[in-house]
Amino acid sequence: MRDHDLELIAALAEGRLEDESEAHALIASSEEAKAEFEAQKLALSALSGASPVTMTENERSALHRDLWTELRGPAAGSVSSRTNPWYYRWMPVAAVMFVLFGLVAVLNQSGGDGMEAAQDQTAGLSASDTTSAMAEEFAGDDADADETRGETGAIAPTSTMAAADSGDGSTAEPPSSAATAFYSAEADEIRSGEEPVYRSLGDFSTTEVEECLQQAGFDDYEVREVNATPDQNIENGEEVPEEAVPYVAATPFGDALDSAAVVFVALETCEVIHVDQ
Amino acid sequence: MTTPAQDAELLARVVDGDHDAFTQMMRAHEDRVFSVCLRIMGNRELALDATQETFLTTFRKASQFKGNSALGTWIYRIAVNTCYDQLRKQKRRKTDPMPEHLDPTDYSAEDAVHAAGLRPEIQRALAAIPEDFRMAVILSDIEGMGLPEVAEILEIPVGTVKSRVFRGRRLLAGELGNQSV
């Protein structure tokens, strides 16, 4: 049925047509149109019985009390301190431990004369330098994966390609395990659904979303989910990792959804942030 | 009904930490937010949680309101997203049984459904249709919002809203028909 016909039938069911003759003619001419009209009428009639709802005074008091308790609490006004998972607090400690273990390993390997040289080298290497070097190494691996895709036309067979090269050669940060888990869970949810989910387009238009996907090299992919406000998920109490950015998720056209690869592309940079196989 | 200028002024006061302004904003929108959440969640307790979360988010994001839409529309968008998130979390848990209040043999639960403003069979049919269609039908046909406002809240084109509302009604009628068989 054409959109115009459906709209006409719905308008008739809603009783907002001044001239109903065209709609009645349509219904009289087609069984499908008649069934559609009856369905629209049935649904509208069922929903019209909905009575308005308001909070009871107890519920209202509880809402205000709990809200102000939350807002005046120690985390008031500080989104990150309230919403970050507990293990985020230990990440700096883990980073320092990592550097120390690395230092010990280097010293053990070097031994004798080499030890002094190793000490000189490591003394000048801060924790952030170390993690940057790791990030570069990681991004390098993914650049290789991206090249593989370019040659074969297929996605590199990795489930954690979270730092692929964008077209201009810039790279995203390496993924945390929390980010990988988050995107994998999103991918599973997409695979279990049937309809595309435009959760929130935010300031992005549908055209921008599709262009971004093309820019990332996924022309033959179908948009499955757009989430321009993952930070709201944090606000809403979900354990969304801090590095979650507005993204579009897509699957290859024609692939069975329940087993399709799901690519996640950042909407702001059009970089691939994750591929879930 | 407030003007955009009044909305902006109120928000500016909220950003400045004026608690009275925030209370004023809450009072103006809390019943509608609760109503939307209750229709979506189908449970008063969950709806109250979602309402609280909505206003927490509103408070924390007040400085990010750009004024591109009415303040109410922005708040209802946050409410819908909050409910989406809560429903997704519920789905992920998988262990949650079908809400008890949907069991018509449970009379205390039935009261809760009536408190949600819908007959049990309608609430059950509504719960059975896909989330996106349900949201559009709830906002349009139960809350009585215009299609442009629903489009702004759901951040989708008006044409898509129409399609979701019409298809949602068709699915709802199908569910109601199945129940009566």
Chain A closest-CA separation from residue B22 CA (Å): 11
pTM: 0.55
Q: Could you list the pLDDT tens digit for every one of the 277 residues in chain A?
A: 777 888 889 999 998 888 889 999 999 999 999 999 999 999 999 998 788 888 999 999 999 998 988 887 654 543 333 344 455 566 777 788 888 888 888 777 765 454 444 444 444 444 344 333 333 433 334 434 343 333 333 344 334 343 334 444 344 555 677 788 888 888 888 888 755 565 556 556 666 777 888 888 887 787 788 887 666 554 344 566 777 788 888 888 777 778 888 999 988 888 888 889 8
What was the pLDDT predicted at A173?
56
Chain B positions touching A47 (Cβ under 8 A) are: 122, 137, 141-142, 172
Helix (H/G/I), strand (E/B), else coil: B98: coil
Dig out the tokens for A202 from the structure.
């935010």
B118 to A49: CB separation less than 8 angstroms, yes or no:
yes
Dihedral pair phi/psi, residue A246, rounded to 5°: -55, 135
User: How is the beta sheet containing A247-252 ordered, strand by strand?
Assistant: A197-200, A221-227, A247-252, A262-266, A272-276
Cβ pair A55:B48 closer than 8 A? yes
Q: What is the pLDDT of residues A210-263, one digit of tens each?
A: 788 888 888 778 778 888 766 655 434 456 677 778 888 888 877 777 888 899
Q: Which pLDDT band holds residue B105 (cuts at 50, 70, 90)?
A: very low
Among B132, B157, B159, whose Cβ lies nearest the Cβ of A195?
A: B132
Put simply, the chain B residues between 35 and 64 with a CB less than 8 A from any chain A CB are 35, 38-39, 44, 48, 51-53, 55-57, 59-61
Q: Which tokens in the block code for residue A180?
A: 């990988």
DSSP E strand boundaries for A123-246: 197-200, 221-227
How confident is the model over B129-156, as pLDDT tens digits? Answer: 998 899 999 999 999 999 999 999 998 9
Q: Which residues of B touch A72 (CB under 8 A)?
A: none
User: Distance between CA B64 and CA A191 in Å, rounded?
Assistant: 33
Q: How far apart are CA A63 and CA B55, in angstroms?
A: 10
Chain B residues touching A70 at Cβ < 8 A: 52, 56
- Closest CB from B52, B91, B166 relative to A6: B166
Nearest-5° angle of CA A21, CA A22, CA A28? 85
Neighboring chain B residues of A60 at a CB cutoff of 8 Å: 30
Q: pLDDT tens for residues B73-93?
A: 999 999 999 998 888 777 766
Size of interface A-B (CB pairs under 8 A): 138
Select the residue of B56, B142, B168 nearest A67 (Cβ to Cβ).
Answer: B56
Please state which of the ranges A144-158, A167-181, B6-20, B32-46 shows the lowest mean pLDDT.
A144-158
Give the mutation candidate from B170, B180, B181 for the A interface (greatest A CB count, under 10 A): B170
Query: Is B143 an interface residue toward A (CB < 8 Å)?
Result: no
At which residue do the structure tokens 């002094």 appear?
A116
Contacts with A249 (C-beta within 8 Å, 6 or more apart), sequence order: A186, A187, A190, A223, A224, A225, A226, A227, A262, A263, A264, A265
Q: Do B170 and A39 touch (CB under 8 A)?
A: yes
pLDDT for position A240: 67
Three-state secondary structure string covering A148-179: HHHHHCCCCCCCCCCCCECCCCCECCCCCHHH
Q: Residues near B31 by Cβ (< 8 Å), separated by ≥ 6?
A: A54, A55
Taking Cα atoms as reference points, which of A144, A128, A143, A46 lies closest to residue B117? A46
Q: Does A181 touch chain B (CB under 8 A)?
A: no
Name the closest residue on chain B to residue A49, using Cα atoms.
B118
